[in-house]
Amino acid sequence: MMCGPLFCVVLVTIVLSVSSFSGGRAPAHVVLNRGSSQLFEVPKDSNSIGVLSTSTEDRVSISKPVIHWTVPGFKVGWQDAEGNWFDKDGPRNGPPMNYWRQRADEREYNQAMGAADAVMSEYDIESEVRGLEKRSSVRKPSLSRKMLGRWAPLLLSSRRIAYNDKPSDDAGDLDVPFMVDISRSHGRRFGPGNHYGIFDLPLQNGEELSILTTDGGEHDKLSAKIIADEANEPVDLGTVGQAQLQFGGITYVSDYAMIQRRPDGAIDFFLRADESYLGATAEDKERYDLV
């Protein structure tokens, strides 16, 4: 048993073999347009730094997460260069209701996707990550409901492990060697519903979490149980191949991305890979008897 001030790892990790990191260099960097995210539209991998070498059958393919509109059901509006307003139904007289909230949602989304672009192009990663960390408003990130769910690791210990080596007409997806699922060990718990939706409750000190990694063949690679605490100190979980996993040291978490810092300052960057952040689905409401 391994204990620390934040977490106590109570289940020995189960590790399966994955091939070692590549020792090559990345392709030439490109400056991305930060005005609108070009996620995954970066140079295709040939011999990139730190990418885990594994069979394509074991990889997991992901697409960028969809934007979460805080106020559901309203029409998204935009303005053209001449100052005319539109929504999905055509021209309109002025901005839609809750336009200020729409713009705030778009800014948060574009900033997170911009950081993901930087990770995949291996360009200006530290600056982009620090930009998100400075914007973080989550007071206790290790207890935030937003870190629950499925995550795709793009960067571990400042080494990129995501792949971008598909044909250019591949619709912009990328591959990761495994997924990381973070969940309450004793089942989901939801807060009261409101006009924004029904969402997972924040975690409490002492709650048990289960962390599981799976590859594209749905093979379990690592399994651990930890006890959450607001101290947010990093704890090693074990290795998947040459990738050392930790939980804690969270410096940023949102609907779309989660960032952890290692004790030496190295970065772990995770991209959202499920839709739990959008709130309870109709199936969830029936399963958990949500009103």
* Residue whose C-alpha is closest to residue 26's, from 117, 170, 160: 160
Task: Give percent of the chain with pLDDT exceeding 90.
Answer: 65
Q: Is the pTM of this model over 0.85?
A: no
Residue 275 vs residues 46, 54, 132: alpha-carbon distances, Å: 31, 27, 21
pLDDT-derived band at 74 (thresholds 50, 70, 90) equals: confident
pLDDT at 291: 72
| Domain residue ranges in the chain | 2-287
* Residue whose C-alpha is closest to residue 174's, from 48, 8, 265, 12: 48
Q: What is the DSSP string of 204-261?
A: -TT-EEEEEEE-TT--EEEEEEEE--TT---EEEEEETTEEEEE--EEEE-SSEEEEE
Distance, CA of 55 to CA of 121 (rounded, Å): 22
pLDDT tens digits along 160-170: 999 877 655 45
Is the pLDDT at 198 greater than 70, yes or no? yes
Element (H, E) at 154: strand 149-156
pLDDT at 1: 45
Is the pLDDT at 271 greater than 80, yes or no? yes
Residue 105 vs residues 5, 43, 168, 254: alpha-carbon distances, Å: 35, 28, 30, 11
Is the pLDDT at 18 greater than 50, yes or no? no
**What are the structure tokens assigned to 285, written together?**
């409401």
Could you tell me which residues are beta bridge partners of residue 222? 213
Name the residue type at position 197.
Answer: G
| Residues in Cβ contact with 271 at an 8 Å cutoff, skipping those fewer than 6 apart | 62, 64, 65, 116, 151, 152, 154, 256, 257
pLDDT at 54: 53
Distance, CA of 170 to CA of 177 (rounded, Å): 18
For CA atoms 25, 32, 172, 17, give the dihedral sign: positive
Is the pLDDT at 81 greater than 90, yes or no? yes
**In sequence order, which ranges of 11-124 are alpha helices (DSSP H)?**
99-121
pLDDT at 41: 47
| Residues in Cβ contact with 115 at an 8 Å cutoff, skipping those fewer than 6 apart | 125, 128, 129, 131, 132, 257, 269
pLDDT at 168: 52
pLDDT-derived band at 221 (thresholds 50, 70, 90) equals: confident
- Per the CB < 8 A criterion, the answer to whether 29 and 254 are in contact is no
Segment among 7-16, 180-189, 235-244 with least mean pLDDT: 7-16
pLDDT tens digits along 176-191: 999 999 999 999 999 9
Angle, CA 250 vertex, CA 203 and CA 138 arms, to 5°: 60
